[in-house]
Structure 1
């Protein structure tokens, strides 16, 4: 079953990205490198609770 999640920047705290993940295959928190407009570079974004 796929679940919608919000990704937040570890450095600035901005919440920009909405994606989904398969809860059965990846039970851990999802971490992806995404572009941050505030920092103007790619940084680590981590899954947060809604």
Structure 2
């Protein structure tokens, strides 16, 4: 029998660069970079923000949680 995950949620992180027109020269490909991860909603009730590598920009950018 598997354990219940409890208060863990699966979330999607999306890059901020999708709306940034100044970075359009350095873009490697079109589209939106997304990651999926999980968080504990009791410990982190606010939206998560993590700095990760963006394949579109070819650099490290802030990824914010989306619905």
- TM above 0.5, yes or no, is yes
Asked if structure 2 preserves the Cα contact closer than 8 Å seen for 1:6 and 1:15, the reply is no
Q: CA RMSD in A?
A: 1.2
Gaps of 5+ in 1: none
Gaps of 5+ in 2: 1-6, 20-31
Q: d(CA) in 1 for partners of 2:47 and 2:41?
A: 10
TM-score (normalizing by structure 1) = 0.89
Moved over 4 A (4+): none
Larger Rg: 2
Give the number of the structure whose residues are more often strand, by fraction.
1
TM-score (normalizing by structure 2) = 0.68
